[in-house]
Amino acid sequence: MTRTTGGAGLSVRDLVVRYAARRGPGTTAVDGVSLDVAAGEVVALLGPSGCGKSSLLRAVAGLEPPAGGTVAFDGEDLAGVPVHRRGFGLLFQDGQLFPHRDVGRNVAYGLEVLGVPRAERDVRVAELLDAVGLAGFARRAVTTLSGGQRQRVALARSLAPRPRLLLLDEPLSALDRQLRERLALDVRATLRDTGTTALFVTHDHAEAFTVADRVAVMDAGRLLQVGTRDELTSAPSSERVAEFLGV
């Protein structure tokens, strides 16, 4: 029988992620974190490199086995549920597009795996390319695209199967500052327009505030504070949070 916990959306409770070492006790990357992401909400995990935010995201995805705690979605405990059965989408820094497929067939990949009929796939691909600002690009070779365009295609591909939860791990960090700022606005608009529930990892607080409804600040494997931009900047819970946000 499937154990249930929490309500709609993502529920993380007392999550611990550890990495073994050849000698000694190993490293605790995520140390007792609890976090909720409501249905349709975008939450950013914000913190410096090595703070545990990507390890937390990988544990939610099923790519890292928790050493303790629970991950649940819509009340279903996901312990033992493999990555491909969680119904989650993944988008990383390198969108990892298929070079032998054109833009449209890259976006359609997940739909093909699910056996969606060709006509329905074509409609969905056209909708998403329009949503990410690449209408008319379906027949373009991905090798001809700029870095920003590639990430737009990768975003469309990750959204195509209508994931229950989209997990984005530093998806804009390889781009230059000006392009990152512009694309962050577009990512926010696309997630909002599609009603996508998302967890967005970044080390850039401006990017986090642009994309997310709420921001969860992490440091040294722990969750320091969760709130909206106004809540975090007007009432940081600690000196460390204030220092990291530059307030």
- Dump strand ranges (E) for 5-164: 10-19, 27-37, 42-46, 68-73, 76-77, 88-92
pTM flag (> 0.85): yes
* CB 225 within 8 Å of CB 241: yes
Q: Which residues of the chain have pLDDT under 50?
A: 1-6
pLDDT recorded at residue 24:
66
Distance CA 154, CA 124 (A): 14
User: Could you tell me the residue ranges of all domains in the chain?
Assistant: 97-162
Please report how the helices 147-159 and 177-194 are oriented relative to each other, as an axis angle in degrees rounded to 10: 20
Q: What is the pLDDT at residue 95? A: 67
**Rounded distance, CA 10 to CA 151, Å?**
25
- Taken as a whole, the chain contains a residue count of 247
Q: How far is CA 35 from the centre of its chain?
A: 14
Q: Given this model, what pLDDT does residue 243 score?
A: 86
**What pLDDT score does 202 carry?**
94
Q: How many whole angstroms separate alpha carbon 121 and alpha carbon 115? A: 9
Task: Specify the pLDDT at position 203.
Answer: 92
- Is residue 120 helix, strand or coil? helix
